[in-house]
């Protein structure tokens, strides 16, 4: 009975892989081959239009179908390593003018060779193509929605909902881990940092913490207030995390121009995590003493006007310290912007343009004794 099952599996394998070979003296070899294939959960790997065999790098697209508005293609690369291993997805460009994070993934497309990889790397360099094309910060200009707030998506919604649905189905459901890369948008003067999401599941949280430390950015925001319901996960990282897949978000780059050092830090961070996950490469020394940020205080504009920052990104500010001034269009002071708590300027508004409700600065409150 056992050998029949084996033979059936072998026949199925030969049918699936094409060329049939004669049975006979080589049968022991076939059994080994069958065993090796049975141990490989992904002889091929498909994301959208990209199907890769082991040892291949394949370029394709996730097709977002037309609905109440236009459809579009989200570019994707599948690097299906020569040997089995974890499936890591790396996404950027949910905000299509956070350029350093996009260029980081472009760098990975060239740098990672499938022969060196154990496992599979799914690369999505530009989720929000309409934002990239039209240089629109924060949102998808097609439906005016942030492309990191509508997961797990909806096939019947507007373009952002449908794109989010495709990414959940094609990428999140197939990966073991996800890294979502962001950075300072056109109006954000940001210092680099990662987020570590705390779910309350000790094993998963230890796993994701080790990934964040391996990634290597030395400021880490502890994120404990993200949704727990996988049906209302909102964020991309959270969509993977609420499905039991240790994942995280990292940010570097700011305010338009690509500083190649920022892109390189993100790209090197991904290589570090790949090494940590035993997907290939050298394990870099994990961070020993990162700055843990336990709370983010966002300062918002009370009225329309013009913003004049008085501190730079990464400044350490005392409670009550001034971080900027809002004036009217005739340079008359309207609002003194002060820090309600002591902390680090994680980002500060990079442009004078200001509407009521815009974020002026984000202050990271450092965890003491952490």
Helices 2-17 and 27-39: crossing angle in degrees, nearest 10, is 80
Kindly state the smallest distance separating residue 32's Cβ from Zn ion, in Å. Answer: 48
User: Looking at beta carbons only, is 182 or 271 nearer to Zn ion?
Assistant: 182
At residue 200, what are phi and psi to the nearest 5 degrees?
Answer: 100, -15
Instruction: Tell me how far CA of residue 282 lies from CA of 92, 122, 192, 206, 269, in angstroms.
Output: 24, 20, 23, 21, 12
User: Looking at beta carbons only, is 95 or 271 nearer to Zn ion?
Assistant: 95
Kindly state the smallest distance separating residue 364's Cβ from Zn ion, in Å. Answer: 17
> Do strands 219-223 and 291-300 pair parallel, antiparallel, or not at all (unpaired)?
parallel
User: Looking at beta carbons only, is 57 or 182 nearer to Zn ion?
Assistant: 182
The closest residue (CB) to Zn ion is: 182
Cα–Cα distance for residue pair 50/231, rounded to 1 Å = 27
User: Looking at beta carbons only, is 13 or 351 nearer to Zn ion?
Assistant: 351
DSSP summary character for residue 232: G
Cα–Cα distance for residue pair 84/368, rounded to 1 Å = 42
Kindly state the smallest distance separating residue 95's Cβ from Zn ion, in Å. Answer: 4
User: Looking at beta carbons only, is 139 or 277 nearer to Zn ion?
Assistant: 139
In this structure, are residues 326 and 370 in contact, taking their beta carbons and an 8 Å threshold? no
Kindly state the smallest distance separating residue 38's Cβ from Zn ion, in Å. Answer: 41
Kindly state the smallest distance separating residue 149's Cβ from Zn ion, in Å. Answer: 10
Kindly state the smallest distance separating residue 146's Cβ from Zn ion, in Å. Answer: 8
Encoding tokens for residue 173?
A: 């459901």
User: Looking at beta carbons only, is 95 or 145 nearer to Zn ion?
Assistant: 95
Kindly state the smallest distance separating residue 249's Cβ from Zn ion, in Å. Answer: 9
Considering just the CA atoms, what is the radius of gyration of the chain in Å? Answer: 23
User: Looking at beta carbons only, is 98 or 166 nearer to Zn ion?
Assistant: 98
Cα–Cα distance for residue pair 219/292, rounded to 1 Å = 6
Q: Give the total residue count for the chain.
A: 370
Kindly state the smallest distance separating residue 132's Cβ from Zn ion, in Å. Answer: 12
User: Looking at beta carbons only, is 67 or 137 nearer to Zn ion?
Assistant: 137
Q: Which of 98, 84, 17 is nearest to 54 (CA)?
A: 84
User: Looking at beta carbons only, is 186 or 326 nearer to Zn ion?
Assistant: 186
Quote the longest CA-to-CA distance of the chain.
91
Cα–Cα distance for residue pair 166/160, rounded to 1 Å = 10
Cα–Cα distance for residue pair 175/237, rounded to 1 Å = 12
Got the DSSP string for 310-340?
Answer: SS-TT-EE-TT-EEEEEE-TTS-EEEEEE-S
Q: N- to C-terminal Cα distance for the chain? A: 59
User: Looking at beta carbons only, is 95 or 254 nearer to Zn ion?
Assistant: 95
Cα–Cα distance for residue pair 97/181, rounded to 1 Å = 12
Binding site for Zn ion (CB under 5 A): 95, 98, 182
In this structure, are residues 26 and 14 in contact, taking their beta carbons and an 8 Å threshold? no
Kindly state the smallest distance separating residue 199's Cβ from Zn ion, in Å. Answer: 22
Kindly state the smallest distance separating residue 98's Cβ from Zn ion, in Å. Answer: 5
The dihedral over CA atoms of 345, 351, 355, 358, expressed in degrees to the nearest 10, equals -30
């Amino acid at each position: 009975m056992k050998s029949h099952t084996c033979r059936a599996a072998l026949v199925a394998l030969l049918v699936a892989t094409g060329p049939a070979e004669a049975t006979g003296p080589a049968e022991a070899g076939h059994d080994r081959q069958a065993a090796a294939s049975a141990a490989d959960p992904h002889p091929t790997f498909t994301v959208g239009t990209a199907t890769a065999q082991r040892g291949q790098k394949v370029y394709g697209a996730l097709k977002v179908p037309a609905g109440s508005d236009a459809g579009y293609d989200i570019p994707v690369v599948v690097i299906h390593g020569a040997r089995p291993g974890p499936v890591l997805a790396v996404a950027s460009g949910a905000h299509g003018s956070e350029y350093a994070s996009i260029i980081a993934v472009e760098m990975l497309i060239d740098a990672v060779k499938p022969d060196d990889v154990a496992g599979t790397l799914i690369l999505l360099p530009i989720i929000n193509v309409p934002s990239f094309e039209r240089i629109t910060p924060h949102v998808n200009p097609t439906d005016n929605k942030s492309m990191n707030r509508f997961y797990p998506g909806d096939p019947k919604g507007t373009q952002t909902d449908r794109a989010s649905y495709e990414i959940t189905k094609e990428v999140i459901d197939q990966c073991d881990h996800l890294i979502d890369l962001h950075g300072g948008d056109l109006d954000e003067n940001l210092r680099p940092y990662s987020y570590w999401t705390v779910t309350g599941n000790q094993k998963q949280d230890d796993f994701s913490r080790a990934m964040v430390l391996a990634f290597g950015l030395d400021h880490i925001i502890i994120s404990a207030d993200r949704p727990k319901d996988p049906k209302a996960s909102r964020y991309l990282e959270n969509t993977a995390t609420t499905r039991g897949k240790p994942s995280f978000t990292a940010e570097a780059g700011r305010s338009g121009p690509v500083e190649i050092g920022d892109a390189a830090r993100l790209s090197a961070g991904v290589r570090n995590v790949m090494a940590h996950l035993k997907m290939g490469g050298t394990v870099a020394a994990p961070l020993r003493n990162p700055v843990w940020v336990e709370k983010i205080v966002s300062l918002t504009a009370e009225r329309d006007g013009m913003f004049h920052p008085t501190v730079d990104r990464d400044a350490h500010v005392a409670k009550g310290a001034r971080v900027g001034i809002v004036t009217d269009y005739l340079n008359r002071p309207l609002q003194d912007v002060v820090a309600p708590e002591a902390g680090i300027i994680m980002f500060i508004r990079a442009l004078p343009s200001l509407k009521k409700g815009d974020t002026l600065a984000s202050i990271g409150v450092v965890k003491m004794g952490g």
